[in-house]
Amino acid sequence: MENGNFYITTPIYYVNDRPHIGHAYTTILADVLARYHRSLDIPTFFLTGTDEHGQKVQKAAEKNNLTPQAHCDETVVRFKELWQKLEITNDKFIRTTDPVHKAVVRKILQDLYDRDLIYKNEYKGRYCVHCERFFTDKDLSGSTVCPEDGCGRETSEIVESNYFFRMSQYQDWLIDHIKTHPEFIQPAFRANETLGFLRNPLGDLCISRPKSRLHWGIELPFDSDFVCYVWFDALINYISGVGYGTDEAMFKKWWPASYHLIGKDILTTHTVYWPTMLKAMGVELPKTIFAHGWWMIGAEKMSKSRGNVVNPIDLIQTYGVDAFRYFLMAEMSLGQDAVFSEDAFINRYNCDLANDLGNLLSRVVKMTLRNYGGIIPTPQVETDNETDLKEIIRRAIPEMEEAIIGMKLEHGIAQIMNVVRAGNRYLEKTAPWTLAKNGDVGRLSSVLYYTAEILRNVSVMLYPVMPQKMVELRRVLGIPEGELENCRISDLNNKQNVLSGLQMTDIDALFLRIKTEEEAPAAAKPAADKSAKPAEVKAEVLPEGIITIDEFFKTQLRTAKVLKAERIEGADKLLKLQIEIGSEVRQLVAGVAQYYTPEEITGKTIVVVANLKPAKIRGVESQGMLLAAKDGKDLKLISVDGPFVSGASVG
């Protein structure tokens, strides 16, 4: 945000088919980031849209007996309707068939051609229709199938004249830029992928297609027999969408982009083609290109060809928009792949939303209605319990801000849920039902007020993720209608005791618990025979060292993601880890520093004992224990086979 503003983009999506969970994830992520930055009082612009030219679109139109433009006009509606359902707050929706965008593309092409940065030559090689890319023999390594990650389709041999952009002359400059600007490609290991690609000589980029083979595209301004290559056209949306070539003041305000969000499958086009195009145009490069991972079903990427694509509309209709948004944001560590399953969805929904957050709201509402007629009381008698609780809330705010800036949303959400769980622990500790019974009005007023205050803070910090549900929560707290959507993180530290005197309203449940197949209704279970006498049970004598299955299951083994690792000063063998178990973030001390560096262990999904009593090791608290296998001087962590959710039961 060098210019003090925040400009975020999604890729523009092909209109050859319906939107799926991959499209939804990237767009929700951009929306959540945009909402958070607005909440921090940072001027924000959010751009998304559709990519409407190219061979895939032309073929899809022919298949449906439509003109390409009619096909685009029909399909783009699906994206716009879904974005509306998903509560996406984009500032602009760009289509590459927009006249303004096409004019900007033609202007850029003409300028590059006039400066001899585009030239005509004959091309001979193989071509992938799906990826709309040419490949040399070197690219294919003796094969004839497309080498793009996740494609693998058969390529076709092509010989034809085309126009080429002199991309090769920028290779050394691009390598130097990536190495001297570590923030340019994130996560860092994606930068290494691009640098690996650039170890081989970079060729010039074919930027045209003859109309004899493809007529659906932007016509080249200097040769009417050709149209522009779809990727050269599509990438320009990031600047044409904020005024490049048409509104200089607007462009100066928002460019360079803070983040281009992309899937890892389009890394090369965004980290090689796009920066060299901008360099040739004399335009500053975006600050960061952030490549997130894929959603997996088991060990496979979701894809239309595999028939395992999850339709976001189905999930929204079943579980609600906000629950869907929450799951996607909380479940994936940005940059890593994540596994989708309905079981994982239900587990996180029930644990985080129905049990933790929903129950906290229900308890404080019922107690306030019963004891104060729903009027939130003014806190009177405070103890160390309230001091500790306020400190937990206070710490969560900068941690959330840090997570937003550091693109670690899942970590920030986990911190917020830790506040919710602290609220539930606070209620158990202070027992307001006992205070009410004993007539301790001074303490009861404080307990109910500060529990409501937790909910107010959570409603602000989770609003970018779940806007509808957080507005509903704020309405229950009695916050006036005009302030329901005024959820600014920047205000949280400045407003104190704002809830006293507000009228709470009752609510059945903010999140209804989802019943699983295992949770059979009580009526379906056979009633116990109360007249039967219990059978005599004889103690079983087990051989030494043998335990029963019941004893084994007392140990709770869970998967955990390592979010952060660092060495402990003065302890050569110890690493201090921050781990995620489901929605909970814990600290763990492990004696693995001789076998793993902090960088090597970060990002791994490991197995931990989750219900071990906390202990202090070298003065550092450890909340659990990781599992590892050791053979002599060799040690390996016990981990899961491939990408997997954190918090899953092991055993």
Render pLDDT for 600-651 as a digit per residue (tens, 0 to 9). 888 888 999 887 877 878 778 888 899 988 766 688 898 877 666 676 667 5
Q: How confident is the model at residue 519 (pLDDT cuts 50, 70, 90)?
A: low
Could you tell me which residue, 473 or 559, shows the higher pLDDT? 473
Measured between alpha carbons, how far apart are the two ends of the chain, in Å? 47
The C-alpha atoms of residue 311 and residue 28 are separated, in whole angstroms, by: 15
Q: What is the pLDDT of residue 623?
A: 87
* Residues 402-428: tens digit of each pLDDT: 999 889 999 999 999 999 999 999 999
Q: What is the pLDDT of residue 150?
A: 66
Q: Count Cα neighbours of 549 within 13 Å in the Cβ-side half-sphere.
A: 1
- Shortest CA distance to 289 belongs to which of 392, 409, 178? 178
- Looking at the chain, how many residues does it have? 651
Q: What is the pLDDT of residue 541?
A: 47
Q: How confident is the model at residue 532 (pLDDT cuts 50, 70, 90)?
A: very low
The C-alpha atoms of residue 207 and residue 511 are separated, in whole angstroms, by: 51
Q: What is the pLDDT of residue 477?
A: 95
Could you tell me which residue, 562 or 166, shows the higher pLDDT? 166
- Shortest CA distance to 359 belongs to which of 451, 446, 479, 432? 451
Amino acid sitting at position 2: E
Examine the pLDDT at 474 and tell me if it is beyond 80. yes
Q: How confident is the model at residue 520 (pLDDT cuts 50, 70, 90)?
A: very low
| Largest CA-CA distance found in the chain, in angstroms, rounded | 98
* Residues 51-79: tens digit of each pLDDT: 999 888 898 889 889 999 999 999 999 99
- Residues of the chain with pLDDT > 90, as a percent, come to 57
Q: Strands 584-590, 571-581: parallel, antiparallel or unpaired by DSSP?
A: antiparallel
- Asked whether the beta carbons of 563 and 573 are under 8 A apart, the reply is no
- Shortest CA distance to 577 belongs to which of 592, 591, 562? 562
Examine the pLDDT at 129 and tell me if it is beyond 80. no
Fold agreement between 341-492 and 549-650: no
Q: How confident is the model at residue 530 (pLDDT cuts 50, 70, 90)?
A: very low
> Which residue, chain included where needed, has tokens 């497309």?
146
Q: How confident is the model at residue 491 (pLDDT cuts 50, 70, 90)?
A: confident
Q: What is the pLDDT of residue 305?
A: 59
What residue spans define the domains of the chain? 341-492, 549-650
Q: How confident is the model at residue 496 (pLDDT cuts 50, 70, 90)?
A: low
Could you tell me which residue, 300 or 257, shows the higher pLDDT? 257
Examine the pLDDT at 224 and tell me if it is beyond 90. yes
The C-alpha atoms of residue 75 and residue 64 are separated, in whole angstroms, by: 11
Instruction: Give the C-alpha distances (Å, rounded to integers) separating 29 from 324, 327, 418, 459, 563.
Output: 12, 11, 21, 18, 19
Number of Cβ within 10 Å of residue 46's Cβ equals: 23
> Which residue, chain included where needed, has tokens 């929560």?
473
Could you tell me which residue, 251 or 315, shows the higher pLDDT? 251
The domain 549-650 is placed in CATH, from the list 2.40.50.140, 3.40.640.10, 3.40.1830.10, 3.40.50.40, at 2.40.50.140
Examine the pLDDT at 527 and tell me if it is beyond 80. no
* Residues 324-375: tens digit of each pLDDT: 999 999 988 888 888 788 888 899 999 999 999 999 999 999 999 999 999 9
Residue 261 forms beta bridges with which residues? 290
CATH class of 341-492: mainly alpha
